[in-house]
Amino acid sequence: MTSPLVLHVRGVTGSGGGPEKTILSSPAFLEKLGYDSLCAYMRPPNDSGFDVLRTRAEHLGAPLVEIDDRGALDWRVIRDLLRVCREKKVAIWHAHDYKSNLFGLIIQRFWPMKLVTTVHGWVQHTSRTPLYYFIDKQCLYYYHTVVCVSEDLRDEVLTKKVANENCHLIHNGIDTKRYYRQKSVEEAKKELGADPNRFLIGAVGRLSPEKGFDLLIQAANRLIKKGHDISVWIAGEGDAKEALQQQIKDAGLEDRIRLLGHINDPATFYQAMDLYVLSSLREGLPNVVLEAMAFEAPIVATKVAGVPFLIEHEKTGLLVDLDSVDELESGIERMYSSPELQKSCTANARTYLEENYSFERRMQKVAALYDQLLERSPVADSSLSGATSERVLS
């Protein structure tokens, strides 16, 4: 008997963002739970940055469908996605952004399928995003199932007249069997060419204002002036790169603060960090914090969105107030000065992650939602510890 097919749909430019970690990791887990998958990405033709996602999809064994998207008025995108739905007999359309939400509603008129969407967060602010986010939120009411990755997002979605029974909280998760420390900090620093004796602060994310990297640079500048032997390396691409590079140059910190751009091996980078810092002003439930926890890097993070549900202050990391250089400086300095706090937080964080944010468990919950929509009996995954023939939503 053929397994139902789930089509994950999203529009991206370049290498995408945090949701790709969830989308591209899903097919391998869903296969064990009785679902086939395709990951359909709408992207500009000849976008060289998309090579990163092709490579990642191949590495994760995620079947990829690429849809040429020439802009807002290119309705051929809908034609091509409809053709995929018909040819592959898609049972569930799983949208991941405003465009895939809108197109799912249109395509369902011509192909019968259940509509599921994941709300990853409305964090990036540009001249166009207010319109995009308005469209996104208006579509939610018409979807059979809405998945929210953090408590604050679920609260907001419920204000959009989405029925409580159709709105589900399922946190992001991480594959703890793939993400774990394999190198010492010293070994990883050597591999990256970092000073083995200097305290390395790391950060990962899109270079855009909502990530607060300018605040992190200011805090680092203050700490260096105090005489603390630290460096800051930030991995990621984005529109704010030029402004951040100028800020670093103006402070005379080119030898201490580096913008790494996109890195192919974030695992080694995480393992080289003496401290991971999340300085964001807006987030959903950031995968980068999950990754830092998995690789046992101590964490200082702002109290943004779902982060306080991940980080328990002084137990699994340190939490600081939003949009405050003073708070970032204080949190970093405290963690820098206390190897005992670093050690206890990393051990506690790894344990908490394994118990509460397993990607296996996340996908069991997602598959349970699919089962409900299709009125289908669950398929047990014998590879999961304690797996039974029943999947649980909460």
Q: What is the pLDDT of residues 53-73, one digit of tens each?
A: 999 999 999 999 999 999 888
233: tokens are 């390396």
Judge whether 57 lies within some domain: yes
**Do 308 and 363 reside in the same domain of the chain?**
no
**Do 201 and 319 reside in the same domain of the chain?**
yes
Separation CA 97–CA 54 (nearest Å):
19
Separation CA 299–CA 256 (nearest Å):
20
Separation CA 15–CA 135 (nearest Å):
23
240: tokens are 């704010």
**Do 50 and 117 reside in the same domain of the chain?**
yes
State which H helix or E strand residue 300 sits in. strand 299-302
Band (pLDDT 50/70/90 cuts) for residue 133 is confident
Residue 379: per-residue pLDDT: 82
Separation CA 182–CA 175 (nearest Å):
15
Q: What's the domain count of the chain?
A: 2
What pLDDT, in 10s, does the model give residues 310-351?
Answer: 899 999 999 999 999 999 999 999 999 999 999 999 999 999
Judge whether 251 lies within some domain: yes
CATH number of the domain residue 110 falls in: 3.40.50.2000
**Do 128 and 263 reside in the same domain of the chain?**
no
**Do 308 and 167 reside in the same domain of the chain?**
no
Query: Is it the case that residue 284 has pLDDT exceeding 80?
Result: no
**Do 55 and 129 reside in the same domain of the chain?**
yes
167 is in which domain, residue-wise? 5-173+358-374
Judge whether 390 lies within some domain: no
Separation CA 89–CA 82 (nearest Å):
10
Separation CA 212–CA 214 (nearest Å):
5
**Do 20 and 165 reside in the same domain of the chain?**
yes
Query: Is it the case that residue 251 has pLDDT exceeding 90?
Result: yes
**Do 343 and 291 reside in the same domain of the chain?**
yes
How many CB atoms neighbour CB 26 within 10 A?
A: 24
Residue 152: per-residue pLDDT: 87
